[in-house]
Structure 1
Amino acid sequence: MTVSVRWVLAQKALAMELRAGASGLDREVSFAHTTELSDPFRWLSGGELLLTTGLRLPLTTPERVAYLGALNDAGVAAVGFGTGLSFSEVPSDLVEAADGLGLPILEVPLPTPFAAVVKLVMNRLAEQQYDAVVRASRAQPRMTRAVVAGGAAAIVRELASATSSAVVLLDDMGRVLEHHPRGSGIGVLDDIRALTEEKGSVASRVAMTKAGVSISVQRIAIGSATHGHVAVVGPVLGNVDHILVGHAASLLALDFEKPARVQSAQDKLNSVALSLVLSDLDGLAPVWSQIESAAGGDGTVRAVTVNADTVTRAERVLAAMSARSTEAGRQVFGQRWKTRVTLVVRGSDDKAFVQSTLASLDVSERRRLRVGMSAPHPVESLEQAVQESRLAASSASAGADPVEFGSLVGGVLLAHASTREALATVGEATVSPLEKYDTANGTDLVASLRAFLDANGHWESAASTLGVHRHTLRSRIARIESTIGVDLDDARVRAELLLALIARGT
């Protein structure tokens, strides 16, 4: 952080006057302190506003000229010469020498204490440091959001804005990928590339061009893999600016890594697809290996099946369940088939977890869903788990809590293949024509039949579940009876149709 000599001179409270070196008013002051040493040069680092009363000033003009030249060579930004003690005014030989060097000499009147000068300058530098920290604290979150919303181009734009510089992003071959502002920094591209090609393990390098422009280059890497370099071109960067450049480089490294991770995932998926095509026992090993990542610590999984009343609602169910699994830090193993959604979860997951996967849906939508879950099974018994979850979902009431297969009354009956075959025959003769009618006419006869049977023939309850008027439901039931030739006033017919619907997973 620095202030110009011009700024120091402009502080009216100090009442300082410029006595020499007007051409150096734009020199930058980074520190202010006093000295009365005759040879302070070895302790100077450059950028000082050096305050003195001339107590140890050399006596001869040649010595004074050499003294002032040594201060200038040490990088002193300006000399504050206090008058009224050792000297009543700034010596004329100092004024002449300072004009020749372009080294400003500011006369500090006796009423102005050196401590006031030091305090004012150092307070201003502290304010700048604080402003830089605040600027960085605001810029870093913007950069982090930028990597999500706009990728590398957005990060480059935010870094250029935060550092008030031009920013150029190059790949590992030195080709320009992004730059901001548009066209800026390209004029020193050869200098940037020269810095990137320097040997050594240093992650960042800084250089000055012949025109006095600062170039700071940061390597973008993860481990030993270098993805490219980001260069900041403009004023000399401060410590906080270098922190921002480092933060941007880290974000850019992550952005460069994303395609590699996506490609790795795609390669794994391609391997699984190839195994399915080959379909031999050894070839399916990658498939089971992939499914194993769905299991919990005990190596078991559960299947969850949700039966919706429309395809659109089923799509929203799968999206909601997938989002919840992602939030929980899990891979998503889900599938939708028409109005049925199946999700594989850990064997330790309970009904509360399943309910949480649907929590983002509106209550009105959850009232239309039938949810079932299997018992915990080893991964290799996944097919059985899926079958159990489908039977449980078919037995569930719309809008009710998820039904676990182990708690089913009558589950043993449905588990027998011979029973399911008989019910499938009934379903083919009765439910299948209704499904075809719905497909052809855009109606909801199957869903209406299920709601009516679940409500044990109570019109008000069934209509409420469907969200329709009871007269609308009566019209649908009449259509069902005429389409498949049944009498739904008969309790035995209702029971047989309900079992057929459950067996079909409807």
Structure 2
Amino acid sequence: MLTVRDLLLNESLGISALAGFAGVDRTITWAHTVDLCDPWKWVAAGNLVMTTGIGLPTDAGQQVRWLEQLADSQACALLVAPRADSPALTPELLECAEQLGFALLSASFELAFVKLSQLIIESVLHTQRERLSTSERLFQTYAQVLRKKPDFEGRLTLLADSLGLDLLVEDAASGVPIVASRQVAVSRLLERVAIPGIVSANLVIIAHGKKVWGDPLLVRSLVGLLSIELERLAIARDEQREAGATLLRNLITGQIELSAARPMLERRGLSGTLVCIALEPGQQGVWHTETLHHAPGLHQPAPLLLADEGLLLMLANDSPALFEQCLANLGAGTRIGISGPASVAAGVTESLRQARLALAQARESGQSMQRYGEAQRVTGMAPKSLAEARALLGHYLGALIEHDRSQDGELLKTLAAFLGNDGNWKASAFELGIHRQTLVYRIKRIEQLSGFSATTTHGSAQLWIALQAGISTGLLEGFSKWHRPS
């Protein structure tokens, strides 16, 4: 498409620039001949306004206001081929054009406006034909890459290569790349265009070398194709989340063992050390708990997500980057409780219990993130506050409390009696009224659930301090009869 500069360089037209040289690179979208006193009412953005000047006012101040109104119409330039009786162009008018950066051109009256209009219109029509042809090739290329490349990145790369560009799709909120045709340099960024859809994203267009690319029709066509691609990915992620929620629910209820679920988890990229997460969302986040799976940081690997009474429960890789993504995407006030490593022996239910306890500790301490087992510990002295006592109790005895509550068991009472009798098996069994072998079984079960040995000096000391913290603060009622002064 022609620019004002192209007209100036065409010597056969005999056009010269009088003022407003800063505007000579504007693109001409159409040519419009008008000799009325109010041409701005009849022209559109990008039009080259051609006049004999007969409609120009004679007064310098009025000429300035006339030009200002014409420039406000977003016309690209004014070409004056004056008749003998046309008003002279005043210095004030020229100075105004220069200040506005609005190209003011001059030609002889003999210049045929019809010829010039034909030249511009042919250029516009040629450009439109090229755009349609390019758009047609774009859709043909897309139809071909659908068969050749099964993944979005591969299809985007082939589309970019066919256009001679680099293309990048980024998350609109965070700027995190979702997919790119290749590694691109941000300094060469040419254009950023919003892609409509459930996923808020931008298309970033990067050209090679000095090539300038800015075809609105082609951009809209490309954005339309990418919008469909992103919608397809969003639908796939919705289905993946639903399947993940079902799997996590079955793991929690025990219908599926963690060992049996490993192949399914690995297909989602969940391997190595896994943890459970209890997440309490904040407010005014970029994403909500219902849509968090669309956030770029959760695409791959894709954690299992399950909404539960205002919380979001997750089974995920032990990844600090994932935790930070959740905090950033869900807004201020978000809190996360993280379990210890999920094990086949303890199961997902135990890991989830740990995550809930860690979340409760995060609330009490005012922290945004808390790992199970990293709560403030007290060794060798009593806790300094009720919150510290709760944290100590949850870390060392939380699994036993949860077991006794759900199974109507007596593990905590057994531990209290065993420690109160200084680890004496016979005295402890007699005090509890059970067989010695039953006591052995219970102590082994206590060690499995808590992760601490009640028969070693270090383990028994940790458990004893936690037990005393619960008794002294009233958190463990009914256990004072097993209390032994140290």
**TM-score, length basis structure 2:** 0.42
**TM-score, length basis structure 1:** 0.41
**Structure number with bigger Rg:** 1
